[in-house]
Structure 1
Amino acid sequence: MDPELNVSSRNYIVDDIHPCYESYNLTFIFTSNPSIVCVLLYVFLGSLCLVTICGNLLVMISIIYFKQLHTPTNYLILSLAVADLLVGVLVFPFSMAFTVTSCLYHENLICKIRDSFDVSLCTSSILNLCCISIDRYYAVCQPLTYRTKINTRVTLIVILLCWGVSVLIGIGIIIAGFSQGTCEEMCSVDVVVANTIGPVFSFYLPAIIMLCIYLKIFLVAQKQVKSIQNTTCRSTKSGAIVSKMERKATKTLAIVMGVFLLCLTPYFICVVFQPLADNPPSVPVIETLNWLALSNSMLNPLIYAFFYSWFRSAFRMIISGKIFHSNLADTKLI
């Protein structure tokens, strides 16, 4: 996710700030004698990529293998993990190989393919989070009808729609010229329009919807807490336990969404306002925001492991290799 830089800045970008490129006859190539900073940079980004892939693989294997985790909410989490895994597999290597400077000086199809993957997977992540927020709304606000409205069939249809829309938005935005790493010069008016419409539909609108839904869930949960505190009958205690579990799940997923917004909001603000600024952000700032946004794909599995005891149990069994020695699919995770 690398916003376009002014063409006039191309003459000094690489020499000034990029430790891995050097100029040769007015062209910029990857240096054959990388500095320590360059090596450390790629070691760090490579480690980030590896952690992202392994973490999301753990989430995917856990949900697929353990029957206890076969729930509509976890299927949505699985879809989110797939998007994050693909970010690690596809976007990270492309972004490492074709950084801001590389993209600016290699105007080819590969650069646009990288952008398309980037936009599609980012959109898929936020649409999955939007669907998760809707799932939590029904679980907390309409618990009596939740299982009839949100079942496996409905969840799978929603997941397919999320991915279909994400692919279409990714292709459409790249065709329209969304400059999150555009590899060719564009009319400034086109850049402003593309950089406004794209983020509105792929980020800002879904984010506002999610915030409104979680605010509604919070208000309803507060009422449920007061209601539970005012009752003492045994049947209500049973319902209280279920309600407490739902609120914990909602809190955890709200944290996932909050981390997502913290990671991506700075980038999308930069994307929208950069074409309008007289002095656009420097390349180091743009690259930092880009990798902050991408690092969200690494953080989600860590959040699951920290807040969900059953995910921690599943992770331990997978890492220790127990699932390869015996059938533990029906194991009760605690």
Structure 2
Amino acid sequence: YALNVVAVSLSLLITCGNLLVIISVIYFKQLHTPTNYLILSLAVTDLLVGALVLPFSTILSLSSCYYSSDFLCKVRGLFDLLLCASSILNLCFISVDRYYAVRHPLMYRNKMNVRVSVTMILVSWVLPILLLIAVIVRGIGKESPRSKCKIFLATEESTTGSVFAFYIPAVIILTIYLKILVVAKKQARRIQNIMKSEAALSKMENKANITLAIVMGVFHMCWTPFFLSISLYRIRKFTIPVVVIEAFKWLGWSNSMLNPLVYAFFYRWFRRAFKMIIHKLQQMS
């Protein structure tokens, strides 16, 4: 019963939060920018995680039937791999976009235009699809003994997929945001030389540090425990209980709930859009 409540609550929060982002970007012309198109793609991916993966996972985890749910278990696992990999790649491209905005502010509009943004979105979907096809092809004929459906895959293919779906993007995200922090501090120093204000510099540096910590902290806090535990579980050097890995998986899925907060709620226009949408819904009800 407790798992049902947690699953339903998390699924609703993910769906509603990302739906607000999607409606805001589509409805308000002021939000039609290359950066927000990337956030829109991220929101669509996270919405599908909340609407498809979580309900399927809950049903299969609680199912007492070991055999009839075998096909559904595999389908759920493939959707999970596709959507989570796409979500992480979207986050990776958003970090690239933010780097150009900070590092090359004068050239940003020319470098990161709509065409580049659409290309990034296509890559963030096409690469997970190719990864999914590779997992399916390599898994053909490798039928595992029938057992209760797990919410994670611990095969050789899934471990290889983790490298491309998480470890490489995670390193890119960490590297880029550390570069953003360095650039932001340099710019703050220049502003200090102009304004001659130590208080202004301290305020800007603190804001940059807090933003960086939230952006990197949320992503790594949610996904790193799961991917590390699944790697250790696969090589069998450490005995990790399945229930612990499944708990880490739920933590990873919660990243789809936190993404709207991190990448949308910090923007003033998004906050205004959310208030207007919620006010409109209240009037309609």
Does structure 1 residue 227 correspond to structure 2 residue 187? no
Please point out which of 125, 132, 147 is paired with 1:170.
Answer: 132
User: What aligned pairs does 1:213-292 form with structure 2 within 5 A after superposition?
Assistant: 213-232=176-195, 252=211, 255-277=214-236, 280-292=239-251
SS in 2 for 1:98: helix
Contact 2:39 2:263 in 1 (8 A): no
Match of 1:276, as an amino acid?
I
Q: 1:104 to 1:176 in 2, by over 3 A?
A: farther
The answer as to whether partners of 2:159 and 2:234 remain within 8 angstroms in 1 is: no
Residue 310 (structure 1) aligned to one of 246, 269, 272: 269
The match for 1:132 among 87, 90, 94 is 94
Equivalences for 1:143-158 in 2 at 5 Å? 143-158=105-120
Identity over the aligned pairs, expressed in percent?
55
Against the structure 1 CA distance between its residues 155 and 115, is the aligned structure 2 distance closer, same or farther, given a 3 Å change threshold? same
Deviation of the 1:101 alpha carbon: 7.0
Q: How big is the shift at 1:161? A: 1.7
Residue 48 of structure 2 corresponds to 86
Partner of 1:160: 122
SS of 2:194's partner is coil
Q: Is the 8 A contact 1:50 1:88 kept in 2?
A: yes
Equivalences for residues 15-26 of structure 1 within 5 A: none
Query: Is 1:209–2:172 an aligned residue pair?
Result: yes
Q: Which consecutive residues of structure 1, in runs of 5 or more, have no partner in the other structure?
A: 1-38, 234-239, 326-334
The Cα of 1:53 is off from its aligned counterpart by: 0.4
CA drift at 1:308: 2.8
Conserved in 1, the CA contact under 8 Å of 2:177 and 2:212?
no
Residue 60 of structure 2 corresponds to residue 98 of structure 1: yes
Q: CA deviation at 1:196?
A: 3.2
Distance change >3 Å, CA 60–CA 102, structure 1 → 2: farther
SS in 1 for 2:106: coil
Preserved CA contact (<8 Å) 1:80 1:125: yes
Partners of 2:143 and 2:15 in 1: CA distance: 27
Q: How many residues align?
A: 269
The residue that corresponds to 2:83 in the other structure is 121
In the aligned structure 2, how far is the partner of 1:323 from the partner of 1:148?
A: 40
The correspondence of residues 58-77 of structure 1 with structure 2, limited to 5 A, is 58-77=20-39
Which AA in structure 2 matches 1:207?
A: A
Cα 1:114/1:315, change in 2 over 3 Å: same
Pairing partner for 2:159 from 193, 196, 206: 196
**1-side partners of 2:260 and 2:54: how far apart?**
17
> Partner of 1:26 in structure 2?
none
Q: Tell me the CA shift for residue 193 of structure 1.
A: 3.6
Structure 1 residue ranges (4+ consecutive) displaced by more than 6 angstroms after TM superposition: 247-251, 322-325
Task: Using the TM superposition, give the Cα deviation of residue 68 of structure 1 relative to its aligned residue in structure 2, in angstroms.
Answer: 1.6
Return the alpha-carbon distance in structure 1 between the equivalents of residues 212 and 24 of structure 2: 17
User: Which residue matches 2:151?
Assistant: none
- Kept in 1, the 8 Å contact 2:92–2:172? The answer is yes
3-state SS in 2 of match to 1:307: coil
Q: CA deviation at 1:107?
A: 5.9
Deviations 1:190-213 (A, max 9, x none): x66424321111100111111111
Q: Of the two, which has the highest radius of gyration?
A: 1
How big is the alpha-carbon RMSD for the aligned residues of Structure 1 and Structure 2?
A: 3.1
Gap change, CA 1:183 and 1:293, over 3 Å in 2: farther
Asked whether the 8 Å contact 2:50–2:256 carries over to 1, the reply is: yes
User: How has the CA–CA distance of structure 1 residues 293 and 170 changed in structure 2, closer, same or farther, with 3 Å as cutoff?
Assistant: same
Structure 2 residue corresponding to 1:54, chosen from 16, 39, 55: 16
Runs of 5+ in structure 2 lacking a partner?
A: 147-153
Partner Cα distance (2:222, 2:256) in 1: 10
| Offset, 1:323 | 10
Query: Could you tell me which residue of structure 2 aligns to residue 5 of structure 1?
Result: none
CA distance in 2, matches of 1:295, 1:104: 27
Give the letter aligned to residue 43 of structure 1.
Answer: V
What amino acid is aligned across from residue 124 of structure 1 in structure 2? S
Give the distance between the partners of 2:143 and 2:212, measured in 1 at CA: 36
Question: What displacement does 1:255 show?
Answer: 2.6
Deviation, 1:158, is 1.4
Structure 2 distance, partners of 1:195, 1:82, is: 23
Which protein is richer in helix relative to its size?
Answer: 2
Match of 1:35 in 2: none
Q: Distance in 1 between matches of 2:166 and 2:183?
A: 26
* Deviation of 1:312 (Å): 1.9
Inter-CA distance 192–301: structure 2 relative to 1 (3 Å threshold): closer
Equivalent residue number for residue 258 of structure 2: 299
Hey, what's the Cα distance between the residues in 2 that align with 1:196 and 1:287? 16
